Amino acid sequence: MSMRQAATQFSVKQLLSAVKQLPDDERREFERRFKEWKSGEGREASGKIGTKRFQSEEDLLARIRLNSRLPDTAARRFNRLRRKFQDETITESELTEYQELISRLEWMAVERLEALIELAQMRGADVKTLMREMGLQKKRNVF
C-alpha cells in the first residue's frame, strides 16, 4: 500500500483527534515536522516526505527513543482497549480510538526504523548490529 493510500484511510477529524491525544513534547515534535513537510524542507530528492537527511547522531538517537514506545498513559489505554477488543466488548467509539492508537504505533515503528537505518549508515554498520550495540530488541513489540 502506498503512503498516499494509507493517508486517505483517515479523516481529518480522526487525524486531529490523534494529534490532540499526543503528550505536549510529542505534539510539539509533530507540529515541527508538519511545518517542515509543509514548507518542503522535509522532502528529499527521492520524493520521500518527512525525514530530513543528514541529521546529527544525537537527533537520530532522540527520534529512536521518542518512537520506541508509547507514553505510559497511552500504553495503558491501548492495552485496555486491546483487551476489550479481544473480549469483543469494545464500543464503536473505543474501536475508533483503538484504531487510531494502532495507526500511531505503526507510524512510530516506521519513524524509528528510518532513524535506525540512517544512524546505521552514518556509523557504517548494518541495522541488526547497531540495534545489538544499542541494546535494542530485534523485534520491538510496541503493541
Sort residue 37 into left (φ over 0), alpha (ψ -120 to 50) or beta: alpha
pLDDT at residue 15, rounded to an integer: 80
The CA distance from 31 to 25, in Å, is: 10
Instruction: Using the structure block, give the residue that is written with the C-alpha cell 485496555.
Output: 80
Phi (first) and psi of residue 125, to 5 degrees: -130, 170
pLDDT in tens, 28-85: 778 777 776 766 654 443 334 444 455 788 999 999 989 988 999 999 999 999 999 9
Total residues found in the chain within this entry: 143
The whole-model pTM stands at: 0.59
Burial degree of 33 (CB within 10 A; 0-12, 13-18, 19+): middle
